[in-house]
Structure 1
Amino acid sequence: MKKLPLMLAYAALSICAAFAQPAPKPIYYTVSFLNAAHHEAEITLTIPKAPTGIIDLRMSRSSPGRYATHEFGKNVYNVKAFDPDGTPLLINQVEGDHYEIAEHGEAVKVSYTLFANWTDGTYASVDASHAHLNMPAVFLFINNLGQEKREIRVEFNDLDKYGWKVASQLKHEGVNVYSAPNFQYLMDSPTELSAYKTSSWEVANPDGKKQKINLTIHSADDQSTIDAFGKMVQKVTLEEQAVFGELPAYDYGQYTFLEDIYPSNSGDGMEHRNSTCIVDASEKVAGNEIGLLGTFSHEFFHAWNVERIRPKTLEPFNFTHANISNELWFAEGFTQYYGELILTRAGFYTSDEYTRVVGGLVNAILNTPGAAKYSAVEMSRKAVFTDAGVSIDPNNYLNNFTSYYTYGGAIALALDLKLRSDFNLTLDDYMRAVWLERGKKMKPYTVADLQDELAKLTKDAKFATDFFKRFVNGTDKNDYNALLVKAGLIMRKAQPGKAWIGLSSASIRGRSGQVQATGSTGLTLIGNSLMGSPIYNAGIDAGDVILTADGKKITDPASFNQVINNKKPGDKVQVTYRNRAGDHEATITLTENPAFEIITFEKAGMQPNAAQLAFRNNWLSSKIK
């Protein structure tokens, strides 16, 4: 070893000493359930080496997998702060979800009560049967710079009292203590405390490495039902593994489905890095297996697409405000497409059943005002308002928003069929290429990156540029009829010759019984009328009360529908209606229902040729080798 000059040696020793400094002790939470019957949890946050200056404490306003804001701070109260010896500290509530501690010692403890009574993928719920914990809805966190990198440990108390076990992607450290390497990981780790049942299996990657997948279900089912359902879920996971060629490398070698089933639940599915939270409002699994599988298929696909194939706009995820993204048409929309396609490949849908799914995608992109006016990228950016966003005032989403789930799903459908017919490639090939170049390397992407990957795969930059310019960044629509014919599928009007006014049953309600004492009758529009529909073109909209149609008194939906059902496209209906501006008359010119349906040649009484059958089979058949 070469001798160092004296001053350089001292400097080197100083650097070594700096690196040798022990990492600060973990931030520590304890969660207790002294009043679970009334949906409360008592939480303490211990900061062993508190940041100097003002400690900035916050509740999250957003949650992984959710893009709109949610005011989690409203359910936190009795917030107090102490020194380690129990001496109270002054804690100032700056905003509803924001607290500050200005004067404190080296260690600080904060305690508070959490109210939790909403079981879904975004919020939290506590009762005597379980504690369903989505972490952003549970934990007050330190927002000071640098604190997000500290290890975090969480202790769950009272498990024996309620007979609960812990299901989580957090690392088990012993007894009832679990850890996260940093703040982002904690917030991405939903946890279920309950007497759940488990079914587990091992899956091997092509390199021979085995990983474990756990199905945990809190429901009224017996173990045999859970085991049987586990075999169904396993078929889905294997089909998705076949798309990408491998499973991701899960932390600690495990992936966990956290499912809670109970009639009062709010149905939801929420993806996370090594787990997914699935909530359903059914009575139990038994008898509802196929209906449940769609959520499992969608959320497990996210283990690749979103959790690792990650939009740059979501990195890092910000918990203090909404996270706007340009890429949800791909992150959610392509996942939506595969979620249903996988069920077909796994044998849970027939071809005829799958055509109904395809019909939904086609109608979403061809028959909604939002898709006609705005691009998939623009619709993705609307997620900050529409992704379970909470508001009490009316909106015009019917006419200015098409879900990026179905919008993106329709784009995925078209791209898959184009790749198959024009390039002898598939969307599986594209997803695998994006996985290997982006997801596996954890390189976040932009829309332009996705275009580049398509150009490389097809070796046709002109095609990729045109596809993204027209169908992703623009509002052009693919020729779905021409694409679907290649698979022996027909796209046709769902109700040819059927008169259509542009109202659904959800848009109207009868008023006669509601305000009968005042003598008021009629049918009230409770939602906006659909842009371009006959009733919209007649100037009738939300809040208007239809009184008569063709001289007949209208008292309920049935009496109005009876008038319309006796008409044909092109017929006119004379209506009188009332609003705050007074009584009015209007002429509504009916049109043909614009909705499409997709059916197989066979169902239409036609015989597909060998090429069409081969195309369909290659598209919809199992990919498990």
Structure 2
Amino acid sequence: MKKVFIMATAVCLAVTAVAQNNSNKFRNTIYYAVSFPNAIHHEAEISMTIPDAPAGAFRVRMSRSSPGRYATHEFGKNIYNVKATDTQGNPLSVKQVEGDVYEISDHPDVVKVSYTLFGNHTDGTYVGIDASHAHLNMPAAFMWVTGSDMVKRPVKFEFNDLDKYGWKVATQLKHEADNVYSAPNLQYMMDSPVELSNLKTSKWEVVNTNGKKQQMAIAVHSDDDQSVVDAFAKQVQKVVLEEKAVFGEQPDYDYGSYTFLDDIYPTDFGDGMEHRNSTSIVDRGEKIAGNEKDLLGTYAHEFFHSWNVERIRPKSLEPFNFEHANMSNELWFAEGFTQYYGEMLLVRAGINSIDDYTGTVGGLVNSVLATPAPGKYPPTQMSRYAVFVDAGVAIDATNYSNIITSYYYYGGATALALDLRLRAEFNLTLDDYMRQVWLAHGKPEKPYTIPDLQNILGRLTNPKFAKAFFDDYIYGVKKNDYAGLLDKAGLILQKFAPGKGWMGRIQGRPANGGFMITGSTVSNTPVYKAGLDADDIIIKIDGKEIKDQSALADMVKDKKPGDKLTVNYKNRTGDHEAVIVLEESPALQVVTYEKAGKELTQQQKDFRSKWLSSKVK
């Protein structure tokens, strides 16, 4: 009762203030009360009180996009029982004008909108509610009032039923009192996820370069003991310091703190979602214990975003549009360069070994050299495709395997090449470049464009190099000499399966007496070149029946490039026969000189050490 009384009192004060002295302190604030009477069935009850409501008809709505996500999402599907009343509870007319938009016409100065929220998808984008916790991504949870003036208003939240469930609150929202939190405006509110649970925290202090002390914390909802959480926090500290060393300083976090919100449970949906002063990390593991390395990769990636994306911000994402996803040409840098650093810094922090890292490097290189899309499309176009692929849902078939490669890995491979080239050609590093981007655009929070990134590289190196790099590798589809660059660090880029026959990966399932191909075949594979594609049913290969993946694998396991397989298959046009000419797989791998039995030169040792050794002083 005490906690509910807080919000009721605040609303009454707001109404009184408007009537008596038009106090800005209360007149502008929008209040949300959040309760969980039916958490066991994944429901929350939410009310939004709007003092000094807009004159005439106004609209409230759910969002269709979310910070850190680049595709459109339909959050409005999970709210219902939408009602509007005055402060005495008298009903007002509310009309649903679109799937996620509601209009209120005749109304008093203060309007209360209430609704039921359903959420059973715990990740960085949606909402997860049960008796153990409420994991709230704000755009997926909260309606808001449209209009340029309304979105600038401050907001306050009251989270009720905390004692009932034994929950504590973790969020980057400002803590006002007891269970009340605030945000200065809608943009900040939407960028502030909330975890309500019996979470465990571990905190430490970082002294920034300017002498300011900042509180860092992990807030974990998992089945781990506090000792496990504390030990894991010490590993996170190492990553935090390595990332600070890249830029020379941490951002000045709002309210002097940064929090990693972490929810770990097998029924979760794995995700990591960056925010201005926090990050939402969700993992499908049993617990932290035994899963530390995988988790640290997500922690490293998302924390790097507190510089790159949250403050070094593409102009295309400003302001963030909650009614429809922003399209960006720059995600190869925003996400891709972050992908590169998130993995590489685990080596600098001593979490991963060089042998661990060779697999990561191999993955980056394969993403641009062994798949068809990067040969046709530049990183800018892959960035634009994010509006379709970043957790977007498609029920119809797509040709993504031939036209898309992840901008995370495409950009990560580009960052790898630029880092090695700066070291080899200019005695500079990608750290130097990122620091200059930070000083020019991140620290002053001045959104950038691709020409801005090129100009900074030109000032750091020379304009000719910068223009050629961007023309060839950002706007164009030319590929760097990864083998030569990696060799400078004593790493060998080589074929993954030399001399072995390969037909390409075939997605499929048993059907109609054979094996039906269920996904598009990939254009650089022998099976594609033989004319087979989705919905074709393979009956026999070289006279042997094919009914599952293992039978397909058996047909090529002893074959060599150039060998031929006769395939009998059928589709809607009838029965067919084709010949698959096997090739060598384009897949590559990276190994150290040491594993290959080769001796490193001193120059290679020095190059590798300068690249991958700790930079924390």
Same-fold call, TM cutoff 0.5 = yes
Partner of 1:138: 141
TM-aligned CA deviation for residue 208 of structure 1: 1.5
Report the Cα distance in structure 1 between the residues aligned to 2:346 and 2:74, rounded to whole angstroms. Answer: 36
Report the Cα distance in structure 1 between the residues aligned to 2:215 and 2:335, rounded to whole angstroms. Answer: 25
Partner of 2:18: none
Report the Cα distance in structure 2 between the residues aligned to 1:477 and 1:20, rounded to whole angstroms. Answer: 63
Partner of 2:475: 473
Partner of 2:16: none
Partner of 1:34: 37
Report the Cα distance in structure 1 between the residues aligned to 2:550 and 2:398, rounded to whole angstroms. Answer: 27
Name the count of aligned residue pairs.
596
1:253-332 alignment, distance < 5 Å: 253-332=256-335
TM-aligned CA deviation for residue 543 of structure 1: 1.1
Choose the corresponding residue for 1:50, options 50, 53, 65. 53
Which residue identity does 2:430 align to in structure 1? L
Report the Cα distance in structure 1 between the residues aligned to 2:344 and 2:389, rounded to whole angstroms. Answer: 25
Choose the corresponding residue for 1:537, options 509, 524, 529. 529
Structure 1: give runs of 5+ residues left out of the alignment: 1-18, 512-519
Where 1:524 maps in the other structure, the secondary structure is strand
Choose the corresponding residue for 1:77, options 76, 80, 84. 80
- Identity across matched positions, percent: 63
Asked whether the equivalents of residues 171 and 194 of structure 2 are also in contact (C-alpha less than 8 Å), the reply is yes
Partner of 2:8: none
Choose the corresponding residue for 2:593, options 580, 597, 601. 601
Work out whether 1:485 is the aligned partner of 2:487: yes
Which residue identity does 1:343 align to in structure 2? L
Where 1:65 maps in the other structure, the secondary structure is coil
TM-aligned CA deviation for residue 148 of structure 1: 0.9
Where 2:36 maps in the other structure, the secondary structure is strand
Work out whether 1:422 is the aligned partner of 2:425: yes
* Deviation by residue 1:7-34 (Cα, 9 ceiling, x = unmatched): xxxxxxxxxxxx9973534100000001
Partner of 2:350: 347
Report the Cα distance in structure 2 between the residues aligned to 1:266 and 1:51, rounded to whole angstroms. Answer: 39
Where 2:310 maps in the other structure, the secondary structure is coil
Report the Cα distance in structure 2 between the residues aligned to 1:48 and 1:567, rounded to whole angstroms. Answer: 74
Partner of 1:462: 464
Which residue identity does 1:189 align to in structure 2? S
Partner of 1:586: 578
Work out whether 1:375 is the aligned partner of 2:378: yes
1:140-179 alignment, distance < 5 Å: 140-179=143-182
Which residue identity does 2:475 align to in structure 1? N
TM-aligned CA deviation for residue 293 of structure 1: 0.6
Choose the corresponding residue for 1:61, options 57, 64, 70. 64
Report the Cα distance in structure 1 between the residues aligned to 2:84 and 2:57, rounded to whole angstroms. Answer: 13
Which residue identity does 2:479 align to in structure 1? K
Partner of 1:92: 95
Asked whether the equivalents of residues 209 and 250 of structure 2 are also in contact (C-alpha less than 8 Å), the reply is no
Which residue identity does 2:497 align to in structure 1? Q
Asked whether the equivalents of residues 526 and 583 of structure 2 are also in contact (C-alpha less than 8 Å), the reply is yes
Partner of 1:232: 235
Report the Cα distance in structure 2 between the residues aligned to 1:153 and 1:554, rounded to whole angstroms. Answer: 62
Asked whether the equivalents of residues 371 and 524 of structure 2 are also in contact (C-alpha less than 8 Å), the reply is no
TM-aligned CA deviation for residue 509 of structure 1: 2.3
TM-aligned CA deviation for residue 483 of structure 1: 0.8
Report the Cα distance in structure 2 between the residues aligned to 1:562 and 1:168, rounded to whole angstroms. Answer: 53
Which residue identity does 1:97 align to in structure 2? D
Report the Cα distance in structure 2 between the residues aligned to 1:422 and 1:551, rounded to whole angstroms. Answer: 56
Work out whether 1:623 is the aligned partner of 2:607: no
Work out whether 1:495 is the aligned partner of 2:497: yes
TM-aligned CA deviation for residue 564 of structure 1: 1.2
Where 2:476 maps in the other structure, the secondary structure is coil
Work out whether 1:222 is the aligned partner of 2:225: yes
TM-aligned CA deviation for residue 525 of structure 1: 1.0
Asked whether the equivalents of residues 500 and 558 of structure 2 are also in contact (C-alpha less than 8 Å), the reply is no
Where 1:211 maps in the other structure, the secondary structure is strand
Which residue identity does 2:595 align to in structure 1? K
Partner of 1:205: 208
Report the Cα distance in structure 2 between the residues aligned to 1:256 and 1:532, rounded to whole angstroms. Answer: 45
Which residue identity does 2:527 align to in structure 1? I
Partner of 1:547: 539
Where 1:357 maps in the other structure, the secondary structure is helix
Report the Cα distance in structure 2 between the residues aligned to 1:242 and 1:620, rounded to whole angstroms. Answer: 13
TM-aligned CA deviation for residue 263 of structure 1: 0.2
Report the Cα distance in structure 1 between the residues aligned to 2:297 and 2:339, rounded to whole angstroms. Answer: 9
Work out whether 1:439 is the aligned partner of 2:442: yes
TM-aligned CA deviation for residue 125 of structure 1: 1.0
Which residue identity does 1:132 align to in structure 2? H
Which residue identity does 1:549 align to in structure 2? I
Report the Cα distance in structure 2 between the residues aligned to 1:353 and 1:158, rounded to whole angstroms. Answer: 45
Which residue identity does 2:509 align to in structure 1? R
TM-score (norm 1): 0.94
Report the Cα distance in structure 2 between the residues aligned to 1:137 and 1:20, rounded to whole angstroms. Answer: 33
Report the Cα distance in structure 1 between the residues aligned to 2:509 and 2:505, rounded to whole angstroms. Answer: 11
Report the Cα distance in structure 1 between the residues aligned to 2:505 and 2:308, rounded to whole angstroms. Answer: 36
Report the Cα distance in structure 2 between the residues aligned to 1:559 and 1:190, rounded to whole angstroms. Answer: 48
TM-score (norm 2): 0.96
TM-aligned CA deviation for residue 346 of structure 1: 0.7
Partner of 1:508: 508
Report the Cα distance in structure 2 between the residues aligned to 1:20 and 1:548, rounded to whole angstroms. Answer: 81
Report the Cα distance in structure 2 between the residues aligned to 1:555 and 1:102, rounded to whole angstroms. Answer: 63
Partner of 2:604: 612
Partner of 1:14: none
Partner of 1:333: 336
* Deviation by residue 1:205-238 (Cα, 9 ceiling, x = unmatched): 1222110001000000000000000000110000
TM-aligned CA deviation for residue 358 of structure 1: 0.4
Moved more, 79-88 or 448-457: 79-88
Structure 2: give runs of 5+ residues left out of the alignment: 1-20
Which residue identity does 1:368 align to in structure 2? T
RMSD: 1.1
Partner of 1:572: 564
Choose the corresponding residue for 2:196, options 179, 193, 197. 193
Where 2:580 maps in the other structure, the secondary structure is strand
Moved more, 318-327 or 556-565: 556-565
Where 1:277 maps in the other structure, the secondary structure is strand
Where 1:34 maps in the other structure, the secondary structure is coil
Where 2:405 maps in the other structure, the secondary structure is coil
Work out whether 1:398 is the aligned partner of 2:401: yes
Report the Cα distance in structure 2 between the residues aligned to 1:105 and 1:467, rounded to whole angstroms. Answer: 60
